[in-house]
Amino acid sequence: MDFNGEEPNIFEGISTAGTGNGAKVYLETYGCQMNVNDSEVVASILLANGYSITQEINEADIILINTCSIRENAETRVFGRIDLFGQVKKNKPSVIIGVLGCMAERLKDELLEKKKIVDLVVGPDAYRELPTLLRAAESGQKGVNIMLSADETYADISPVRLDKYGVSAFVSIMRGCNNMCSYCVVPYTRGAERSRDPQTIIHEVEELVRNGYREVTLLGQNVNSYSWSESKGMVKHTVNFADLLEMVALVSPFLRVRFSTSHPKDLTNDVLYTMAMYENICNHIHLPVQSGSDRILQLMNRKYSRNSYLNRIQAVREIIPDCAISTDIIAGFCTETELDHDLTLSLMREVGFDFAYMFKYSQRPNTKAARHLVDDVPDEIKSRRLTEIIELQGKLSEESKKKDVGKRFEVLVEGTSKKSDDFYVGRTTHNKVVVFPKEASSIGDFVLVEVTSCTPATLIGKIVDE
């Protein structure tokens, strides 16, 4: 899985009337893209039940925080936010405070016992119950549901879109994970893997296209294990991820298609051939490696070796020669030696990743690693190794960007640059961010941009004619 940083996403102000009597909900989201999409589902459920959404915490009747448990500092940050919500509640005691998502699932008792101000604790599979739980909270009870489901995919719910420009949307294709990587809390907080009916996915994508969206990202903890089976009479029909990818690509040639996240053990050549076949499927794969050492990969229960990972990279290079590859790396996992660390650095050099999310190992309670392995790499060593990994990736990312200078790319205009109103920001098929003067283009356009220079994080260019 991958992460979209530590900054929260806050919903824009939108509202409808109905049985929630227009009560105003402030919704803050932490963690991965799946969480962002879950918040869109939550907003949809609340709006359908007559609640309204506000961006202003001080005018909220209900404050919800959708949480992430992937690392300790993510949880610490959320606890800090809950304390701040407590200040809001001091001034307005009727405010209901709810914790949603992975922390609700993992820390229900702690939240209810230590954070008395929390009125609502709702796990990732119980969002349909939110209106009922909110009514319980409104009547002074604690609203709690952390039941995990074997089949909930929210397939019939049309998420309210978070992207304020209406250009790029996340579409959840599956939930949960069966992989049981030893360091990971996701199988415990999000339950077992369930794939969503492909027809509901296609309907959602078609609706997005009708509403002017130009890009979708298909989301799942491990999209390559997507599998949907249906029996018609004696015939069983199965849709795998390569099939689904093709179905989505065929919705419109003007819709860019991305997906995240791929597990290296499940990335098939069929998926790569489908990517190569359709121009509108972006040339970018996020393939988390985590470590370059076989011994560590085994302790992590990743179910692939260094060699088999490199074989997958070779397959990507052969089938889609112009494909960007990004990854996730963990520094300082249990028992990691200098040799293991050097193997990670050498693998990074060998692949030449275009981008990476890099973290220090953070032990998560009740995971297999927490139960059976010792978190024995001292923090200063973890930090030093992480610094070395970040420095190396900085060089690799810069090399990757420098190769783009002088080239032309089709860029989807996604919004105005945060640094200047005179510039737009967009991405290439390789998922690289490009900044360029606005000129005659508009948000949602595909434009041809010539890259003139780059910073370590961004390409800089100008719009050119064909």
Cα 123 to chain centroid distance, Å, stands at 17
Quote the tokens at residue 47. 């709006």
| Coil, helix or strand at residue 11 | coil
What's the CA angle centered on 410, arms 406 and 412, to 5 degrees?
Answer: 125
Q: Which of 39, 168, 179, 327 binds ligand SF4 (CB under 6 A)?
A: 179
CB of 186 to ligand SF4, least distance (A): 4
Place of tokens 């007559």: 50
Beta pairing class for 52-54 and 96-101: unpaired
429 binds ligand SF4 (CB under 6 A): no
Q: Which of 66, 153, 195, 222 binds ligand SF4 (CB under 6 A)?
A: 222
32 binds ligand SF4 (CB under 6 A): no
Stretch that binds ligand SF4, among 125-133, 182-190, 353-361, 391-399 (CB under 6 A): 182-190
Question: For residues 213 and 355, which CB has a smaller minimum distance to ligand SF4 in the complex?
Answer: 355
Which residues are CB-neighbours of 318 under 8 A, at least 6 positions away? none
137 binds ligand SF4 (CB under 6 A): no
CB of 332 to ligand SF4, least distance (A): 16
186 binds ligand SF4 (CB under 6 A): yes
Give the burial string for 55-65 (b: 16+ CB within 10 Å, else e).
eeeeebbbbbb
Which residues are CB-neighbours of 233 under 8 A, at least 6 positions away? none
Stretch that binds ligand SF4, among 95-103, 180-188, 224-232, 319-327 (CB under 6 A): 180-188
Is the link from the previous residue into 261 a cis peptide, with omega within 30 of 0?
yes
Type and span of the H or E element at 42: helix 33-48
DSSP string, 200-256: HHHHHHHHHHHTT--EEEEE-TTGGG-EEEEEETTEEEEEEHHHHHHHHHTT-TTSE
- The Cα 433–Cα 430 span in angstroms is 9
Question: For residues 16 and 308, which CB has a smaller minimum distance to ligand SF4 in the complex?
Answer: 308
CB of 330 to ligand SF4, least distance (A): 10
Stretch that binds ligand SF4, among 110-118, 173-181, 306-314, 330-338 (CB under 6 A): 173-181
Stretch that binds ligand SF4, among 136-144, 181-189, 329-337, 433-441 (CB under 6 A): 181-189
221 binds ligand SF4 (CB under 6 A): yes
181 binds ligand SF4 (CB under 6 A): yes
Site for ligand SF4 in 349-378 (CB under 6 A): none
Quote the tokens at residue 207. 């609706």
- On whether the CB atoms of residues 118 and 97 are closer than 8 A, the answer is yes
Type and span of the H or E element at 102: helix 102-114
187 binds ligand SF4 (CB under 6 A): yes
Stretch that binds ligand SF4, among 56-64, 141-149, 178-186, 303-311 (CB under 6 A): 178-186
289 binds ligand SF4 (CB under 6 A): no
329 binds ligand SF4 (CB under 6 A): no
Residue type, 435: V
- The Cα 244–Cα 222 span in angstroms is 14
Question: For residues 179 and 252, which CB has a smaller minimum distance to ligand SF4 in the complex?
Answer: 179
CB of 432 to ligand SF4, least distance (A): 24
Q: Which residues pair with 175 in a beta bridge?
A: 194
Q: With CB under 6 A as the rule, give the number of residues binding ligand SF4.
A: 11
1 binds ligand SF4 (CB under 6 A): yes
- On whether the CB atoms of residues 159 and 37 are closer than 8 A, the answer is yes
392 binds ligand SF4 (CB under 6 A): no
Q: Helix 102-114 crosses helix 72-91 at what angle (to 10 degrees)?
A: 50
Question: For residues 221 and 252, which CB has a smaller minimum distance to ligand SF4 in the complex?
Answer: 221
User: Binding residues for ligand SF4, per CB under 6 A?
Assistant: 1, 177, 179-181, 184, 186-187, 221-222, 263
